[in-house]
Structure 1
Amino acid sequence: MAHVGIIATVGPVSRNPETLRALASAGMTVARLNGSHADLDWHRETIQLIRSVLPDLPILLDVPGRKIRTLQLAHEPRFSAGDRLTLTTDRSHDGRDKVPVNFDGLHEQLRPGVRVFADDGTLAFLVEEVDGRDIHVRALGDGQLRSRKGINVPDVKLGRDLVTSADEAMLAFAAETGVDYVGISFVESAAHVQAIRRLIRNGSPRIVAKVENQGGLDHLDEVIGASDVIMIDRGDLSVETELDRVSLFQKQIIAAAQARGKPVIVATELLHTMIENPYPTKAEISDITNAVLDGASLLMLSGETAVGRFPVEAVARLASVASVASEDVGRITRSPELPQVVRAVHALSRSGEVTGVIVLSRSGYAAGLVAAARPAAPVLAVHSDEGLARSLNLLPGVRAVHVPGFDWDASDPAEAAIAALVARGFLGEADVVLTVAASADESRTDLLTLRTRRLSPGLAIEPQAA
């Protein structure tokens, strides 16, 4: 059973039925689209393609949000250390003379001496002069500034609206096309998540909050509490904070999310060398292994599967390394900082008797807790809403089953769920299943019940007893 999910970004090299099927066979469990690239028509067609080829696969759409980027450039300038370039908020330019960026107010907030980074910190510049909308910078190293690359200014607090008009348009598009998750950049507060949630109807798409700057770290607990999933974008995080501390921040974020039963995605450069080469470096293998041992729920590939030469090989390698690392799960799930229900599910599912775990999760909270427990038995989550059921497939090790008309208010919803799963062939008469219900409300008691088809209503077990 896969205890770590694999997110693969779909791009030009993987946007075809054959490659999508191969990626899924290799281990892809979630498809990601980067809203900062291509236009909405391209994304709409890609979503339709994924739905037709892999209908049960969750789709994550990254919303550009407050992230500053270069625009699409007709000319992508190369430069050497000491060369002078001009960034501008005048969008009429195309890179030949000046490189335009998407934040109209950037020139108003910069001054000489401020450092500017680009492309996940691989390019660095120093502001020498600001003239109207033009920002004249000096390159601190050799490189090439490409289209749609991120711009970071860690020395300056850039005031930007929590939700922009572009965000609203992208969220409306996400609802229209039925994607399962939206990724929100530079989340620094619960208010930011709540502002996004107000624009989302019927609880879908769910929200992936990206922690990628000091503000996100400073308000980590409230961001985790307000979000459905957390993503550690190590590219921006390394530039916005301290590169030397990124691995420590990763451990901190994962531990905090685990304590709240929230899934965590680790992203950025997991197999960066496989964009051009068929084999990873030993350092990349070590990085992936440590991310899994830290407790990552999902690992994400970007350029490796969007534009790389070896997309299927990259997914297969990531899945293989993650599988090997997942064998050491006992240490992770015995942590006293984890919710009691997580430790109880882990222990009971490994008793040797349990053949399946059934999770009753109307909101997704209980399913997240069960996934964090990394149970030894298969996990089935029943849901009456087709879209919400599919979204639960993002959780590693969880198989969501859509049961139209499922009665959440039945006298015994767990027994109703078991009956529905037996009718659909997921369970047999002799199975011994652990049913789990949990609430984010600390005033309510989480309930675990052990059942067979011959034992009803079952043996109730308090989480503290495990």
Structure 2
Amino acid sequence: MSRRTKIIATIGPASDDPAVIRRMIAAGADVFRIGLAHGSLGDAIERYRRIRAVAADAGREIGVLGDLPGPKVRLASFVDDGAVLAVGGEVELCPGAESSTATSLGVDYGDLLADLHPGDNLALGDGTVRLQVTSVDASSARAVVTYGGTVQGRPGLHVPSDRLGLATPTAEDLYKLDAFVEEGVDMVAVSFVRSAHDIRRVGTEPSPRGPLIVAKIETRAAVDNLEGIIEASGAVMVARGDLGIEMGIEDLPHIQKRIIRDCIAYGRPVITATQMLESMITAGTPTRAEVSDVANAIFDGSSAVMLSAESAIGVDPVNSVATMARICAKADTEFDFDGWAHRLRALRKFHSNDSDGRLTDAITGAAWRAATEVGASAIIAVSDTGFTVRSIARFRPSMPILGFTPNERTARQLCLSWGTTPLHDPVAANHEDLMTSLVIAARDHGDVRSGDIVAVISGSQVNRAKATDQMRLVRVP
């Protein structure tokens, strides 16, 4: 089965080995995520270099996503192996304390008490343990356990985002970002985004000179400011963990659909993440509900789906990737291409003054319709930044998209785009007969055959840096 939906796999202790990474690529991983909230920066950079080396050895374009920690508040480590917090029990929250017990929780955020009020609901870790603040004084806050459970390690403490005084990105984020930009990372995820201003504060140059910025939607403020955040970002992640805590778990399904819908409207790749195959952390097969969750995320329009703990600490990261690939491939074959065309007409959006965006949108739309009408074997797109390829990908054409680019980083960024085979080709920058050269390159690469009809889109020599303004139907020589 041909797979169009892309797979992101998180690298962690269970998968941080060249042999395992190589097998994960063979199983279907398109992008690897490196979480920067845990471990040292040096270890993360070594992990990044390992991925790069394995991908080069495999001869594959593989993207790497660096996930910045963001303003995450965490508890201090528990003195033993963890603690059981029972419903109705009382706990004290102590900023600056260096350890935690069942009755006293150390917190690494010094201004916590200024942000809390009696009645606030807090969550630990993935949200299974909940607290309600009962009082706050100058040295600590007291809370009662409303949902009990076991906590261990250094779990996150979820404070309502409209109360939290920490800014996004943090100084730590910017420090780690600088290091990964120097390494040439392809994509960077910004955590706990609340507005488009948070994305602009990241301060990196647009691709291909800098990484693609992925906004993680996981706060109420981000949902309220969704369209502005999408416009300011290169891609978006539906980060369902903290989002489900903040918004209420019953609100999560329709919010997920809204985020995906708006990303499609603006032509941005959208990643659905968190607990997609969670049971595979310990099991060899997913639950039926997890399989349906992945498939429905694809039917809604997700460009990519992500494995988190399943591939980072799970018993069999390679099997998790292979299982995800099979689910995606089957869902892709059942995708409603005809229904998608009707949905997209009602969604497409551009700023009224974005003439280049409108031009690219018109050309890519025409290419999609023409390719569908003549039964083209592929759509060939050339793009310096990847914008043209991402624009055509949102139409979800039934034929493959071949994304040619002269920029290596752009090629790796296109690993995130639905239905796209990224092809790095330096000739794509300035060949005199660009369209003919791309068709021949696609034929020589084995993606199309002599006699096939393909649609080719690009920018003209005079306008290539601004917008896509050329489309042709070509028979492959």
**Residue of structure 1 equivalent to 2:435:** 414
**Residue of structure 2 equivalent to 1:328:** 335
**Residue of structure 2 equivalent to 1:434:** 455
CA distance 1:392–1:74, change in 2 (3 Å):
farther
Question: Aligned letter for 2:23?
Answer: A
Q: CA deviation at 1:347?
A: 4.0
State the alpha-carbon separation in 1 of the partners of residues 141 and 308 from structure 2. 30
State the alpha-carbon separation in 1 of the partners of residues 278 and 448 from structure 2. 41
The 5-angstrom pairing of residues 38-187 of structure 1 reads 38-55=39-56, 56-70=61-75, 75=80, 76-90=82-96, 93-96=98-101, 98-154=104-160, 156-187=162-193
Between 268-277 and 18-27, the greater mean CA deviation after superposition:
18-27
Q: CA deviation at 1:345?
A: 4.5
Q: Which string of whole-angstrom CA distances, capped at 9 and with x for unpartnered residues, describes residues 27-86 of structure 1?
A: 211111111121112211211111111232101111011233335556433322223333
Q: CA deviation at 1:8?
A: 0.9
**Residue of structure 2 equivalent to 1:451:** 474
State the alpha-carbon separation in 2 of the partners of residues 123 and 117 from structure 1. 6
CA distance 1:420–1:282, change in 2 (3 Å):
closer
8 A contact 1:115–1:155 mirrored in 2? no
8 A contact 1:224–1:257 mirrored in 2? yes
8 A contact 2:458–2:468 mirrored in 1? no
The 5-angstrom pairing of residues 49-448 of structure 1 reads 49-55=50-56, 56-70=61-75, 75=80, 76-90=82-96, 93-96=98-101, 98-154=104-160, 156-198=162-204, 203-326=209-332, 327-330=334-337, 331-335=339-343, 336-339=345-348, 344-351=366-373, 353-404=375-426, 406-408=428-430, 412-421=433-442, 429-437=450-458, 447-448=470-471
Question: Aligned letter for 1:58?
Answer: G
Where 1:127 maps in the other structure, the secondary structure is: strand
Q: CA deviation at 1:252?
A: 0.8
TM-score of the two chains, using structure 1 as the length reference: 0.88
Q: CA deviation at 1:138?
A: 2.2
Q: Which string of whole-angstrom CA distances, capped at 9 and with x for unpartnered residues, describes residues 363-416 of structure 1?
A: 2221112222333333222222212222212213212222236435x6654344
8 A contact 1:61–1:179 mirrored in 2? yes
State the alpha-carbon separation in 2 of the partners of residues 328 and 403 from structure 1. 31
Between 322-331 and 32-41, the greater mean CA deviation after superposition:
322-331
**Residue of structure 2 equivalent to 1:464:** none
**Residue of structure 1 equivalent to 2:357:** none
State the alpha-carbon separation in 2 of the partners of residues 342 and 83 from structure 1. 59
8 A contact 1:124–1:140 mirrored in 2? yes
State the alpha-carbon separation in 1 of the partners of residues 293 and 446 from structure 2. 40
Where 1:66 maps in the other structure, the secondary structure is: coil
Q: CA deviation at 1:250?
A: 0.9
Cα root mean square deviation, aligned:
2.8
Where 2:14 maps in the other structure, the secondary structure is: coil
State percent identity of aligned pairs: 31
Question: Aligned letter for 1:296?
Answer: S
Q: Which string of whole-angstrom CA distances, capped at 9 and with x for unpartnered residues, describes residues 96-121 of structure 1?
A: 58444343322221133221112232
State the alpha-carbon separation in 1 of the partners of residues 42 and 53 from structure 2. 17
Q: CA deviation at 1:431?
A: 4.0
Q: CA deviation at 1:246?
A: 0.8
Where 2:242 maps in the other structure, the secondary structure is: helix
8 A contact 1:79–1:143 mirrored in 2? yes
8 A contact 1:359–1:437 mirrored in 2? yes
Question: Aligned letter for 2:14?
Answer: V
Where 1:171 maps in the other structure, the secondary structure is: helix
CA distance 1:162–1:438, change in 2 (3 Å):
farther
Question: Aligned letter for 2:73?
Answer: I
State the alpha-carbon separation in 2 of the partners of residues 147 and 245 from structure 1. 29
State the alpha-carbon separation in 1 of the partners of residues 201 and 363 from structure 2. 31
State the alpha-carbon separation in 2 of the partners of residues 196 and 89 from structure 1. 28
TM-score of the two chains, using structure 2 as the length reference: 0.86
Unaligned runs of 5+ in 1: 455-466
Unaligned runs of 5+ in 2: 349-361
**Residue of structure 1 equivalent to 2:358:** none
